[in-house]
């Protein structure tokens, strides 16, 4: 594909396609969505997401005025409150007491925080990798989680996947792709953003690897 004639939203999706397949078909994800793991594995995964979204969303108010990252910062995407409700449901009211990040999660959250602090384009890469994924494949995960562990439809336990304030996810994703296409960056910077997106996928896959070690299917 010729990058010069391809929209940035297409470029970033195409460039991360292979790694998307890798993340989607990782042992942990396959076992989790295949119904082979207990709710404990799902809760542990949800905890890891909390650390990542804290890093993404703690930085959001500060980045809202940034010319590059600012347009992406939208209140209707914020997931931390939903994650906290899910964790209270999964772990109980004192969910914070037992919360711990896997080493791969620490690395992931630290990289998000570093980008947020020093590089708005890198922050956009992480923003895209998480939120556009949650709006897409996240809906498949929600459906599977509801059926496997008996959560109420779009209720406690799966609120992370429910974007209450986004009535039309398909339209929202279209607008989001338009924002990507209008990213205020030259070609070199766009290449760097794509590379950071690949890194974001690799960071996710590393979390899945560690979760897979903690929750082997045979156990």
- Closest by CA position to 190, among listed 20, 1, 15: 15
Please say which residue, 88 or 106, places its beta carbon nearer to ligand HEM.
106
- Please tell me whether 177 is known to bind a ligand: yes
- Please tell me whether 128 is known to bind a ligand: yes
Please say which residue, 23 or 90, places its beta carbon nearer to ligand HEM.
23
CB of 141 to ligand HEM, least distance (A): 6
Please say which residue, 105 or 204, places its beta carbon nearer to ligand HEM.
204
CB of 206 to ligand HEM, least distance (A): 11
Q: Which backbone phi and psi does 66 adopt, to 5 degrees?
A: -75, 135
Q: Angle at the Cα of 87 (from 40 to 82), degrees rounded to 5? A: 135
CB of 92 to ligand HEM, least distance (A): 27
- Closest by CA position to 75, among listed 131, 117, 116: 131
- Please tell me whether 13 is known to bind a ligand: yes
Applying CB under 6 A, which residues contact ligand HEM?
13, 20, 23-24, 29, 33, 128-130, 132-133, 136-137, 140-141, 201, 204
- Closest by CA position to 11, among listed 197, 140, 184: 197
CB of 93 to ligand HEM, least distance (A): 29
Q: How many CB atoms lie within 10 A of CB 216?
A: 11
CB of 129 to ligand HEM, least distance (A): 5
In sequence order, which ranges of the chain are alpha helices (DSSP H)?
8-15, 17-24, 27-33, 39-58, 60-63, 80-91, 103-118, 120-127, 133-135, 138-149, 169-181, 187-214
Please say which residue, 20 or 74, places its beta carbon nearer to ligand HEM.
20
Give the whole-angstrom CA distance, residue 138 versus residue 131: 9
Residue nearest to ligand HEM (CB): 137
Q: Which residues are annotated as a binding site?
A: 13, 20, 128, 177
Q: Which residues are annotated as a binding site for heme b?
A: 13, 20, 128, 177
């Amino acid at each position: 594909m010729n990058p010069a004639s391809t929209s940035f939203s297409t470029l970033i999706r195409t460039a991360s396609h292979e790694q998307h397949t890798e993340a989607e078909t990782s042992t942990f994800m396959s076992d989790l969505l295949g119904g082979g793991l207990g709710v404990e594995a799902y809760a542990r995964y949800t905890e890891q997401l909390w650390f990542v979204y804290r890093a993404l969303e703690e930085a959001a108010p500060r980045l809202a005025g940034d010319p590059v990252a600012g347009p992406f910062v939208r209140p209707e995407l914020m997931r931390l409150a939903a994650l906290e409700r899910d964790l209270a449901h999964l772990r109980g009211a004192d969910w914070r007491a037992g919360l711990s990040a896997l080493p791969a999660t620490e690395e992931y959250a630290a990289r998000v925080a570093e980008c947020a602090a020093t590089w708005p384009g890198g922050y956009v890469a992480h923003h895209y990798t998480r939120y556009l994924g949650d709006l897409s494949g996240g809906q498949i995960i929600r459906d599977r989680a509801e059926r496997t562990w008996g959560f109420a439809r779009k209720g406690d336990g799966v609120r992370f996947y429910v974007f209450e304030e986004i009535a039309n996810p398909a339209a929202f994703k279209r607008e989001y792709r338009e924002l990507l296409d209008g990213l205020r960056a030259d070609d070199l910077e766009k290449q760097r953003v794509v590379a950071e997106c690949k890194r974001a996928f690799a960071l996710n896959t590393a979390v899945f690897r560690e979760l897979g070690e903690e929750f082997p299917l045979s156990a």
